[in-house]
Amino acid sequence: MTVSILDVASFILRERGEMSTMKLQKLCYFSQGWALAWDDKPLFEEDFQAWANGPVSPPLYVKHRGRCSVSELAHEKPKALKLEQKLIVRSVLDTYSQMSGFQLSELSHKGAPWRAVRESYGAREGERCVGVISKEAMKAYFSSL
């Protein structure tokens, strides 16, 4: 059974409660990165783009657009994550959830995948960029940490 980023985001919100949309996006990004490094496969198929404030998944963005914080997503009944998926996400939450959305954004900016895409598109600081951060680049980066 394949879960989507919306399923993972819903799980994160159930585990940790209301949070900023920036924080939710970054926790999903770090969950995907660590899943690729630890499990050698993605948690979900949706991609992230190298937006100005860090990695953003457009399908998740559509669900929270216009809101600063979110406690649940307007989403059809979320699919349950498998045990190994829950363990990965919980490990990420244990490591990163005490950080703010802005701190997580800064952390994601230090990562090679986001920076490389923005550089390849010639995007300056604060400029819009819709370049996709590849799962291969995420796997290589998170595996190197």
What is the reported pTM? Answer: 0.96
pLDDT tens, residue by residue, 1-46: 689 999 999 999 999 999 999 999 999 999 999 999 999 999 999 9
Residue-level pLDDT at 75: 73
Residue-level pLDDT at 139: 98
Count of residues in the chain? 145
d(CA 54, CA 109): 6
Residue 42's SS3 state is coil
pLDDT tens, residue by residue, 44-89: 999 999 999 999 999 999 999 999 999 999 877 778 999 999 999 9
Burial (CB < 10 A; 0-12, 13-18, 19+), residue 89, is buried
Residue-level pLDDT at 1: 61
